[in-house]
Amino acid sequence: MPSLQPYSTFGLAASCDSIQSFSDVASFLSIYKAHKNNTNKAIYILGGGSNSIFTDDFDGTILVNEIKGISHFDTESHHYLRVGAGENWHDFVTLCMKEKWYGFENLALIPGSVGASPIQNIGAYGREVNTLIDKVECVFLETGEQVLLGNEDCQFGYRDSVFKRALANKVLITHVNFKLPKHYELETSYGELAALTEPTPEKVYSKVIEIRRNKLPDPSELGNAGSFFKNPVVSKAVFQAIAQEYDSVPHFVVHGGVELPATEKEQIKIPAAWLIDQAGFKGKTLNKVRCHPTQPLVLTNLGGATGNDVITMAKDIIASVQGKFGIQLEPEVRLLGSKGLISL
């Protein structure tokens, strides 16, 4: 049984029945249909493996999306890009910076593939990818029908989309189409970017890379899946109750819109890293899983960690934050057991 360790940046020891890659829709459909006709076992489609953690041997087949290609045209007002889902995200962002197709600079150094970006609605330092997505090209797994979903069809939310809900496990994303305005405002209000003098896209890009390298462990050196939990969005009342107990609570006001599963026009996003730190987990180790000492939002594999270690640590963090603050943390990573996705 082939090892899944090279296919997941967290690097747990796990295996599966088989691993196959595909580079176009036709080859994908051929592999997928053959598998479905011959076995009832599970199939999991993988991109860069930076957001999937295999906590157990997977009783099925892994299909690796290697659809590549980047095409570009522009108008007087916009750049338009069509990008294969198997392209590496940061390599794509770096190419855009080189070509002066600006807009992605805040999203530099996020691990993973382009195809994963709409699923998670990836975001960092005040920018979310949904603001730059025009359309997403998909294939329905069961019928092979190819569809083009507009931005609104994708139902983007904070680290959320229709691909995690109504279309979860029903479609393959083949390409993402981006629409970048040539005239736009840089996003420099978030964190250390606010200190930039005379900011340019290049300065933002470089600063984001510097921040991420200083705070976040390199998956090639220390196994991890980036941010393990979402930053919770809470009501003003919940935030105010917490703020009364602490001298300073980092937070960001979120107004109604794409970021919110909102019942109010204004809610508050509290960094999960701060909550986890206050709950006493920063730098804490459970067997071979550690809550990272410079960014507690990241859990790391010190070498030889098990799926049970990861699940236990994550559940302990969730329970502690819930008990201390009354806030339920949700995983941002995708956890897989022997039969497929699992929840905590």
Catalytic residue among 8, 113, 117, 227: 227
Residue type, 39: T
**In the prediction, which pLDDT does 183 show?**
95
Catalytic residue among 159, 212, 290, 334: 159
Decide if 127 is catalytic: no
| Cα(90)–Cα(104) distance, integer angstroms | 10
Strand partners, 123: 128
pLDDT band, very low/low/confident/very high, at 317 (cuts 50, 70, 90): very high
Give 173-194 pLDDT, tens digit per residue: 999 999 999 999 999 998 899 9
Question: For strand 171-181 and strand 78-84, is the pairing parallel, antiparallel, or unpaired?
Answer: antiparallel
pLDDT band, very low/low/confident/very high, at 135 (cuts 50, 70, 90): very high
Q: Is the pLDDT of residue 81 over 60?
A: yes
Q: What is the pTM of this model?
A: 0.92
Decide if 152 is catalytic: no
Looking at the chain, which residues constitute the CATH 3.30.43.10 domain(s)? 5-65
**In the prediction, which pLDDT does 260 show?**
43
Strand, helix or coil for residue 260: coil
**In the prediction, which pLDDT does 39 show?**
87
Catalytic residue among 52, 290, 332, 334: 332
Q: How far is CA 257 from the centre of its chain?
A: 20
What are the structure tokens assigned to 58, written together?
């997977």
pLDDT band, very low/low/confident/very high, at 262 (cuts 50, 70, 90): very low
- CATH entry 3.30.465.10 includes domain 70-181: yes
Give 137-170 pLDDT, tens digit per residue: 999 999 999 999 999 999 999 899 999 999 999 9
Looking at the chain, which residues constitute the CATH 3.30.465.10 domain(s)? 70-181
Cβ–Cβ under 8 Å, residues 38 and 51 = no
Decide if 66 is catalytic: no
**Neighbour-count burial of 317, counting CB atoms closer than 10 A to its CB (0-12 exposed, 13-18 middle, 19+ buried):** buried
Cβ–Cβ under 8 Å, residues 243 and 289 = no
Mean pLDDT of the chain: 95
Strand, helix or coil for residue 162: helix
Q: Is the pLDDT of residue 234 over 50?
A: yes
CATH architecture, domain defined by 221-342: Alpha-Beta Complex (3.90)
C-beta neighbour count of 134 within 10 angstroms: 16
Q: Is the pLDDT of residue 237 over 90?
A: yes
DSSP assignment of 147-208: EEEETGGG--BTTB-GGGTTTTTTEEEEEEEEEEESS------SGGGGG-SS--HHHHHHHH
- CATH entry 3.40.190.10 includes domain 5-65: no
pLDDT band, very low/low/confident/very high, at 265 (cuts 50, 70, 90): low
Looking at the chain, which residues constitute the CATH 3.90.78.10 domain(s)? 221-342
**In the prediction, which pLDDT does 264 show?**
55
Give the mean pLDDT of 195-208. 97
pLDDT band, very low/low/confident/very high, at 261 (cuts 50, 70, 90): very low
**In the prediction, which pLDDT does 149 show?**
98
Classify residue 125 by its DSSP letter. Answer: T
Of the candidates 178, 148, 152, which has an alpha carbon nearest to the alpha carbon of residue 80?
178
Contacts of 198 (CB under 8 A, 6+ apart): none
Residue linked to tokens 């507690």: 296
| Cα(281)–Cα(298) distance, integer angstroms | 11
Give the mean pLDDT of 59-84. 98
Lowest mean pLDDT among 128-137, 184-193, 264-273: 264-273
Give 24-49 pLDDT, tens digit per residue: 999 999 999 999 888 889 999 999 99
| Opening angle at CA 174, ends 171 and 179, nearest 5 | 115
| Opening angle at CA 225, ends 108 and 117, nearest 5 | 50
Cβ–Cβ under 8 Å, residues 105 and 79 = no
| Cα(106)–Cα(227) distance, integer angstroms | 16
| Cα(160)–Cα(118) distance, integer angstroms | 8
Residue linked to tokens 């990241």: 298
